[in-house]
Structure 1
């Protein structure tokens, strides 16, 4: 075989291996869910590996809580379920990707870092400063 034909054969072999891995990954991840339940078992959350909430179940005693307490427990359950899903993902994907797993993990973690709790424990975004009120007294918005 000539050098060009060998390179083409190698490229085809590499492509076929990658396609097989992609199919294997897709079937492994398709039904994967992370689940977490609150300590008092009143809240159960299921999430996709991406962190998307797939299911939220509230027991009757959950709605008797103060709104802030319920909010915090739901957010905590979502975080724990997301961690659970990420652990499952890592355990499933690492053997399939082999030495390319670190690249996958880096890209995946960049996407899911949004779910990390704030340092102050709050789940609310910080309040913005006051709006700048401009004087358009000359009936024009142009400066």
Structure 2
């Protein structure tokens, strides 16, 4: 292969990658999703990363309880997030290759369908997450009636570098 042929081949590959990158960017920007309830009273839109971008609640949706409304909104949001994640994966496939490890990695994090049962150990089950402040989980057990003990300060040893000691870092200070 001559240097000119090699250069032409290289420039062709660069042009192909630039074209794929431009298509990916365009497809990614359009990868958000919108889901609407069956009765049309609720509409949820999400960005390609799954962030909520729009929520529309018609007065008809307010006829039930607040808990029912929240559950319907969350169901639509999860459905829209799954659709957006699928769109992102579809946009990424031509860039990565249909059977690439990177595409399998991206699609491995798709949230499950509403009617799918999560696999054991799978925390991506579409349920809400809550942080608890259960003392049993955060503090070590104590003897009855005793308050929890604070951890002690580390002990200084003879080799410990103490910023407030009398030792000079460059040796002994000579008197003038």
TM-score band by shorter chain is 0.5 to 0.7
More helix by share: 1
Q: CA deviation at 1:24?
A: 1.7
Mapped partners of 2:27, 2:127: distance in 1: 35
Distance of aligned partners of 1:121 and 1:110 in 2 relative to their CA distance in 1, 3 Å threshold: closer
In structure 1, the residue matched to 2:149 is 135
In structure 2, the residue matched to 1:11 is 10
Unaligned regions of 5+ residues in structure 2, if any?
119-124, 141-147, 155-176
Distance of aligned partners of 1:102 and 1:54 in 2 relative to their CA distance in 1, 3 Å threshold: farther
Output one character per residue of 1:4-50: Cα deviation in whole Å (capped at 9) or x when no partner.
Answer: 66544433322221111111222233234311112332210112232
Distance of aligned partners of 1:89 and 1:35 in 2 relative to their CA distance in 1, 3 Å threshold: same
**Aligned ranges for residues 69-84 of structure 1 at < 5 Å?**
69-84=68-83
Larger Rg: 2
TM-score normalised by the chain length of structure 1 = 0.67
Q: CA deviation at 1:108?
A: 3.1
Contact 2:96 2:103 (8 Å CA) reproduced:
no
Unaligned regions of 5+ residues in structure 1, if any?
none
Contact 1:46 1:81 (8 Å CA) reproduced:
yes
Q: CA deviation at 1:73?
A: 0.9
Runs (4 or more) in structure 1 with deviation over 6 Å come to 115-118
Output one character per residue of 1:37-72: Cα deviation in whole Å (capped at 9) or x when no partner.
Answer: 123322101122322222111112334432322221
What is the alpha-carbon root mean square deviation over aligned residues?
3.6
86, 92, 106: which one pairs with 2:104? 106
Q: CA deviation at 1:100?
A: 0.5
Contact 2:37 2:43 (8 Å CA) reproduced:
yes
Distance of aligned partners of 1:110 and 1:87 in 2 relative to their CA distance in 1, 3 Å threshold: closer
Mapped partners of 2:39, 2:30: distance in 1: 27
Contact 1:29 1:89 (8 Å CA) reproduced:
yes
In structure 1, the residue matched to 2:128 is 123
Distance of aligned partners of 1:79 and 1:43 in 2 relative to their CA distance in 1, 3 Å threshold: same
Mapped partners of 2:9, 2:126: distance in 1: 53
